[in-house]
Chain A
Amino acid sequence: MIGWTVRRLTQSMLVILLMTLVVFIGLNAIGNPMDILVGEDLNQAERLQAIAHLGLDKPLWQQYLLFLQGAIHGNLGQSFVYHEDAMRLILQRLPATFELAFSALFLAVVIGVPLGMFAGTYPDHPLSRLMMASSIVGFSLPAFWVALMMIMLFSIKLGWLPASGRGATRELLGVQWSWLTLDGLQHLLLPALNLALFKISLVLRLTRAGVREVLPQEFVKFARAKGLSPMRVMCMHVMRNTMIPVVTVLAMELGSTIAYAVVTESIFSWPGAGKLILDSINTLDRPVVVAYLMVVVVIFVVLNLIVDGLYYLLDPRVRVEASR
């Protein structure tokens, strides 16, 4: 276990290090890093001072070390637009993004698992066929367009749900959350559902495949033969054995959900990190872009680590392979 942990941790650190290198090269390869990091509205003396201050007169490898040092301390420069610490700006917006992403995953499970169980139990039922067909459409639908259609239907035509912003928030653990108020929940529903659409299709298909694989097995027959009620067989025996792939896939999908929140947030004006990064790309606010990329890379690597750890704990086969 210790050997495995150490090896995976080292690998993760290497990936993060590699990404800092990529981001740093990107910073230097395109345009003058001076313009990127300092801005253009300075006079000559200020520029020289800033160059010395940022260490831009030093050789590249030393600059990289300085950049790395800053990154470790969470100091990736000031936003040109907000004149605030770029890292702090991202971290302030991150809870809203997490709220959206987790709500989407929650919806995916709550909607996708029951539908998938039904489709797996009755594969020839017309409803199951309809579900499978619509899940192909669910994979094909461009999420941003669906978002607009949702706004048009539920906000403009029917007037049921608000189309932008977070609504009223309430503080919990020092952070403002939307899901604690009714108004906030109303604001959360459409963007979360939009972000969840693809995952619902995914969970539905995974659950269906799992149920179809588990149902013919001996222990299910045995449970039935014992006289357990069909409901109990489904919930206790079948579901438990189909949930492992669903849970691990969802854990891996959390990262991409956070990334795709960029689109959803920009449409629903959800004030999360994704909307901030998009605005920053459009205003060439590079320190914020760099900070966002570094934060998301770290989130990703940590998520992968957790998923691998879960696999290690849950699946004995991985353990055998790792100990070799």
Chain B
Amino acid sequence: MNAVSKTVRLQAQSPWRRVAVEFMSSPTAVIGLLVLLIIVLIAVLAPWIVVQNPYDLMQLNVLDARLAPGSANMDTGYTYWLGTDGQGRDLVSAIMYGLRISLWVGIGSALIAAVIGTLLGLVSAYVGGWLDALLMRLVDLLLSFPVILMALMILAWLGKGVGNVMLTLILLEWAYYARTARGQALTESRREYVDAARGQGIGPWRIVVGHILPNCLPPLIVIGALQIARAITLEATLSFLGLGVPVTEPSLGLLIANGFQYMLSNEYWISLFPGLALLITIVAINLVGDRLRDVLNPRLQR
């Protein structure tokens, strides 16, 4: 144990430690990370900190519908800090629950797509031949059409719903990971350490998973961060268009859509605040993603 920590110190720093230190050297990225952590915390803890469950119709009072920010609840007297929506939902609670859906859909689909895409990319690189050609043509085809078009196409066949939105995101996103993982794996497989592992008689799967995959991770992590932001935007857009979540359980996109009809009568808050929450989330993720790209990109390393 002592010897191990000594070698670590001798090598100055472990690579992940170096990444962490470099990441922290950018104040904007640190702020982005902090904001993101707070948002995730809010989303996870939402059921315990909200004043009402926005998806439980029994707890909603239609008489409280469309109250301006700062109004008081008729019965219990607590303040609707951000106002209420058309069904009398407290917007603070609705936004917290909306964040849950956004993050769940965004992170969930990005993770599943990452696993599938990375695996297919590695297989493609390792097996080669017609399988490689077929998979990569499929990736080219998927990536050459805009995401929203493909999403409309898939949702037109599958029907509406959160599950289908996630499935759509996975069907679209795996291609990014597959292309990157394949490219990275092809470069890595020519390195000496792979030859050394082969020389030791290690089986092909252990080489791929144990030796090549860890070295493919940095670019995949960057893509993952940016894909989460894209997935959240796309979910919000599709829900806004009425193709995502059900009306009784609005996500941020649907809250904004519902607020649209009241905007003409100057009741701006129903659309404004969920949109701000969405914007802050996406900007935070993008700031973190941008910094990760700078830190993890070997070409930019001094």
- List residues of chain A with CB under 8 Å of any chain B CB: 15, 18, 23, 26, 29-30, 136-137, 139-145, 148-149, 151-152, 156, 255-256, 259-260, 262-263, 266-267, 277-278, 281-282, 286, 289, 293, 296-297, 300, 304
Contacting residues, chain B, for A145 (C-beta < 8 A):
236, 256, 271, 275, 278-279
Return the 3 tightest CB-CB contacts between A and B, nearest first: A145-B275, A256-B146, A259-B146
A281 in contact with B152 (CB, 8 Å) = yes
Report chain B residues within 8 Å CB of A260. Answer: 146, 148
**5 A/B residue pairs, CB under 8 Å, sorted by A:** A140-B279, A142-B278, A144-B256, A145-B236, A281-B243
Once bound together, how far apart are the Cα atoms of A314 and B264, in whole Å?
50
A149: chain B residues within 8 A (beta carbon) = 271-272, 275
Tell me which of B148, B155, B237, B263 contacts A156 (CB under 8 A).
B263
Majority-rule SS of B interface residues: helix
Residues of A within 8 A of B200 (CB): none
Distance between Cα atoms of A55 and B275 in the complex (Å): 49
Given contacts A256-B146, A277-B152, A289-B156, contact A152 B279 (CB under 8 A): no
14 more A-B residue pairs beyond the given contacts A139-B286, A142-B253, with a C-beta to C-beta distance below 8 A: A26-B156, A136-B286, A137-B283, A140-B282, A140-B286, A142-B282, A145-B256, A156-B263, A259-B145, A263-B240, A278-B241, A281-B243, A282-B242, A296-B149
A293 to B287, CA, bound (A): 35
Within 8 A of A (CB), among B190-205: none
Q: Is the CB of A300 within 8 A of B237?
A: no
State the Cβ distance, A13 to closest chain B Cβ, in Å.
Answer: 14
Chain A, Cβ-Cβ closest to B256: A145
Cα-based distance from A221 to B141 in the complex (angstroms): 44
> In the complex, which residue of chain A has the Cβ closest to the Cβ of B275?
A145
A252 to B290, CA, bound (A): 24
C-alpha spacing A256/B145, complex, angstroms: 7
Q: Is the CB of B152 within 8 A of A262?
A: yes
Q: Shortest distance in angstroms between B276's beta carbon and chain A's nearest beta carbon?
A: 9
CB proximity of B95 to chain A, nearest CB, Å = 13
Q: CB distance B233 to A136 under 8 Å?
A: no
- Count contacts on B: residues with CB < 8 A to the other chain: 38
Nearest Cβ in chain B — how far from A19, in angstroms?
A: 8
Which of B141, B157, B256 contacts A15 (CB under 8 A)? B141
**From residue 133 to 172 of chain B, which have CB atoms closer than 8 A to chain A?**
141, 144-146, 148-149, 152-153, 155-158
Cα distance A136–B271 in the bound complex, in angstroms? 22
With the chains together, A141 CA to B279 CA distance in Å? 6
A259-B146, A296-B149 are contacts. A26–B242 as well, Cβ < 8 Å?
A: no
A259, B148: Cβ atoms under 8 Å?
yes
A103 to B109, CA, bound (A): 34
Out of B153, B243, B266, B275, name the residue touching A148 (CB < 8 Å): B275
Taking Cβ atoms with an 8 Å cutoff, the residues of B that contact A are 141, 144-146, 148-149, 152-153, 155-158, 229, 233, 236-237, 240-243, 253, 256, 259-260, 263-264, 266, 268, 271-272, 275, 278-279, 282-283, 286-287, 290
CB–CB A18/B141 < 8 A: yes
Q: Which of A136, A143, A145, A282 has the most CB of B within 10 A?
A: A145
A140:B229 contact, CB within 8 angstroms:
yes
In contact, B157 and A29 (Cβ under 8 angstroms): yes
Contact of A151 with B263 at beta-carbon distance under 8 Å, contacts A136-B286, A142-B237, A145-B271 already known: yes
In the complex, what residues of B have CB within 8 A of residue A296's CB? 149
Q: Are B241 and A148 interface neighbours, CB within 8 A? A: no
Q: For the complex, give the distance between the alpha carbons of A151 and B240 in Å.
A: 16
Residues of B within 8 A of A142 (CB): 233, 236-237, 253, 275, 278-279, 282
Chain B's nearest CB lies how many Å from the CB of A291? Answer: 12
Question: With a CB–CB cut-off of 8 A, which chain B residues contact A140?
Answer: 229, 279, 282-283, 286
A107 to B263 Cα, complex, angstroms: 27
A residues less than 8 Å from B272 (CB atoms): 149, 152
Chain A residues near B153 (CB-CB < 8 A): 23, 26, 293
Chain B nearest Cβ from A8, distance in angstroms: 13
Give the shortest distance, in Å, between B246 (CB) and chain A (any CB).
14
- Chain B CB within 10 Å — which of A23, A137, A262 has the most? A262
On chain B, the residues within 8 Å of A148 by CB distance are 256, 259-260, 263, 271, 275
CA distance A259 to B147 in the complex (A): 9
